Amino acid sequence: MPKVKTNSSAKKRFKVTGTGLITFQKPFKRHILTKKSTKRKRAMRKDGMVDSTQMYFVRRLLGLK
């Protein structure tokens, strides 16, 4: 059997925490920030958590399952 390859784009975007949850950086924080409110930009600083409905798919991309 060949080895299962990790999806290269997924390994750059997701990180597994110590408790097994998967985090990612919130989108839309790179440019054109002048029109976005301070509250919105502040909320984008925090890491996002992968929803439980998407967990199986993301874990498969990362080669964890």
Identify the domain containing residue 24 by its residue range.
Answer: 8-61
If one counts the domains in the chain, the total is 1
Q: What are 27-64's pLDDT values in tens digits?
A: 999 999 999 999 999 999 999 999 999 999 999 999 99
3 in any annotated domain: no
Q: What is the C-alpha separation between 29 and 41, in angstroms, rounded?
A: 7
Tell me how long the chain is: 65
What is the rounded distance in angstroms from the CA atom of residue 60 to the CA atom of residue 51?
Answer: 14
Q: What whole-number distance in Å separates Cα of residue 14 and Cα of residue 58?
A: 8
Q: What share of the chain is helix, strand, coil (3-state, %, to 5)?
A: 30, 15, 55
Q: Is residue 31 part of a domain?
A: yes
How far from 13 is each of 7, 36, 38, 50, 62, CA to CA, in Å? 10, 23, 24, 11, 10
pTM of the model: 0.84
